[in-house]
A and B are shown apart, each in its own frame.
Chain A
Amino acid sequence: MNETVITYGLYLALAVAMTIWVAKTLHKSGRIFLVECFHGNEELADSVNHLLVVGFYLINIGFVSLYLKTTETVTGAQGVFETLSGKMGVVLLMLGGMHFFNLLLFTKLRKRANLATMPPPVPPMLRVNAEVAQLS
């Protein structure tokens, strides 16, 4: 087992562990957002939450796999740390990007849900008898 394989092993273990941690955090903290978006429909919120997490896993683990191969030869402990650190840096930035994208999605969904029940944003200048207004 040479240094390159050690780097690969460490990279996979760390990257997958980080992906699982971020996905679990999203799953746990995103639920309350989704429940509000779907007007308290917990079943639907849980289903959407689960689907989102599955998508998150697929994208991230797919990226981690594609990004595994290194073209430079790794020599010594220093080489292992340098290559691993470069790879993990990119994976973490990618995870961060995906995490913020998910947050954006949650906020958008929440805003949209709130819009449906929003009262008129400007006060009326006049009020007339509602019965006359309803005449048709």
Chain B
Amino acid sequence: MHTLTLFYDARCGLCSRVRQWLSGQPAYVRLEFLPYDSPEAARRLPAIRHLHADQEIVVMADTGEVWQGAGAWVLCLWALREYRGWSARLASPTMQVAARKIVHWISQNRIGMSRLAGFKSDAEIAATAEREAEESVCRLRHDLDLID
């Protein structure tokens, strides 16, 4: 396996923060991030529309294996150089039961938690950047009009 694609929720602040953290970590494999509802995600993994990716994170390897929920989080840790040992510990059946419950709870409450912590989602950041770019174009046009 060389690449691990993560289908995450770009509209969730917590998920976007986790994405930022994951992309900054040294990893054994390449990590790719795609919003689960993007056309690119549907093209790469057509089955994603049946997986309820809005509820639990989906991870796909370039070899075609797909994980979701607690298993997907274990795979994320497995991909990281510093945390592979933790993935082995969390993969034991008893830990998986607990992990599944915790991951499910966090997934259910992620929007509220993001709002509480003040995390901005990637979608919001992109929208703000777009708005600012538009505003600067408008200002430029306005300045040019004044010159005319």
| Chain B residues in 8 Å Cβ range of A116 | 28
- A111, A118, A124, A135: the one within 8 Å of B66 (CB): A124
For B78, the chain A residues whose CB sits under 8 A away are: 118, 120-121
Count contacts between A and B, CB distance < 8 Å: 72
Number of interface residues of A (CB under 8 A): 20
A133-B63 contact in complex given A116-B28, A122-B71, C-beta closer than 8 Å: yes
Q: How far is the CA of A124 from the CA of B62 in the complex (A)?
A: 13
The answer to whether A122 and B96 touch across the interface, beta carbons within 8 angstroms, is yes
Beta-carbon contacts of A93-127 to B below 8 Å, as 1s and 0s? 00000000000000000010001101011111111
Q: Mark B69-92, 1 if CB is under 8 A from A, else 0.
A: 001001100100000110110110
Nearest to B90 among chain A residues (CB) is A121
Q: Is the CB of B84 within 8 A of A118?
A: yes
Given contacts A111-B85, A116-B28, A118-B84, contact A133 B68 (CB under 8 A): no
- The reply to whether B91 and A115 contact each other, CB–CB distance below 8 Å, is no
B91 touches A132 (CB 8 A): no
CB distance from B62 to the nearest CB of A (A): 5
Which chain A residue shows the least CB distance to B73?
A122
Q: Is the CB of B64 within 8 A of A129?
A: yes
- Residue from the set B46, B64, B74 with the largest chain A CB neighbour count within 10 Å: B64
- Which DSSP category, helix, strand, loop or mixed, fits chain B's interface? mixed
Asked if B142 is at the interface (CB within 8 A of a chain A CB), the reply is no
Q: Which residues of B contact A133 (CB under 8 A)?
A: 5, 44-45, 60-64
CB distance from A136 to the nearest CB of B (A): 8
Tell me whether A127 and B75 are in contact (CB under 8 A): no
In the docked arrangement, what's the CA distance between A123 and B91, Å? 10
A130 within 8 A of B: yes
Asked if A73 is at the interface of the complex by the 8 Å CB criterion, the answer is no
Query: Does B67 interact with chain A (Cβ within 8 Å)?
Result: yes
Residues of B within 8 A of A125 (CB): 66-68, 71
Q: For A111, what are the chain B residues with a Cβ–Cβ distance below 8 Å?
A: 85
Q: Does A134 contact B (CB under 8 A)?
A: yes
Query: Which residues of chain B are near A132, meaning CB under 8 Å?
Result: 44-46, 64
Decide yes or no: A126 and B47 within 8 Å by CB, A120-B65, A133-B62, A133-B64 being known contacts: yes
Give chain A residues whose Cβ lies under 8 Å from the Cβ of B88. Answer: 115, 118, 121
Given A130-B64, A134-B62, 16 new contacts (CB under 8 A): A120-B61, A120-B67, A121-B78, A122-B74, A122-B96, A124-B66, A125-B67, A125-B68, A126-B47, A128-B64, A128-B66, A129-B64, A133-B64, A135-B43, A135-B44, A136-B32
Instruction: List 8 A-B pairs, Cβ < 8 Å.
Output: A111-B85, A118-B84, A120-B75, A122-B67, A123-B71, A124-B65, A124-B67, A133-B45
